[in-house]
């Protein structure tokens, strides 16, 4: 569980999802975590991972939606969280047209 009332997530919501009011973003705090994992600086990513734990980060990564991660971040987090062997990273999620 990610605590959307946590002051860390409030600050990160304003910094990384500036186009939406923080109180609206924090209704889905996992969105903040994913955005920080994708484009966050080192200090912010360390703070987020320490706050939520690596297991929760793995869950968010493996259940990511199309467009949430850049290829670079996708690969980095798969290696960093032990979800991939060298040269064997799962493909990025893709949008499906039904």
pLDDT of residue 31: 94
The whole-model pTM stands at: 0.89
Which has more pLDDT, 68 or 5? 68
Give the number of domains in the chain: 1
Q: How many whole angstroms separate alpha carbon 15 and alpha carbon 25?
A: 11
Would residue 95 count as lying in a domain? Answer: no
Q: What is the mean pLDDT of the chain?
A: 92
Distances (CA, A) of 42 to 37, 38, 39, 48, 49: 9, 11, 10, 10, 11
Q: Is residue 62 part of a domain?
A: yes
Give 4-25 pLDDT, tens digit per residue. Answer: 567 899 999 999 999 999 889 9
Q: For residues 2 and 72, which has the higher predicted lDDT (pLDDT)?
A: 72
Cβ contact 25:31 at 8 Å: yes
What range does the domain containing 29 cover?
Answer: 7-80
The answer to whether position 87 is within a domain reads no
Q: 97 lies in a domain?
A: no
């Amino acid at each position: 569980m990610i605590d959307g009332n946590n002051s860390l997530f409030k600050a990160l919501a304003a910094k990384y999802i500036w186009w939406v009011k923080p109180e609206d973003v924090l209704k889905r705090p996992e969105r903040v975590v994913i955005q920080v994992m994708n484009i966050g600086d080192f200090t912010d990513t360390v703070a987020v991972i320490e706050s939520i734990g690596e297991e929760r980060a793995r869950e968010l990564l493996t259940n990511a939606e199309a467009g949430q991660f850049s290829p670079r971040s996708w690969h980095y987090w798969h290696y960093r969280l032990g979800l991939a062997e060298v040269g064997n990273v799962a493909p990025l999620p893709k949008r499906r047209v039904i």
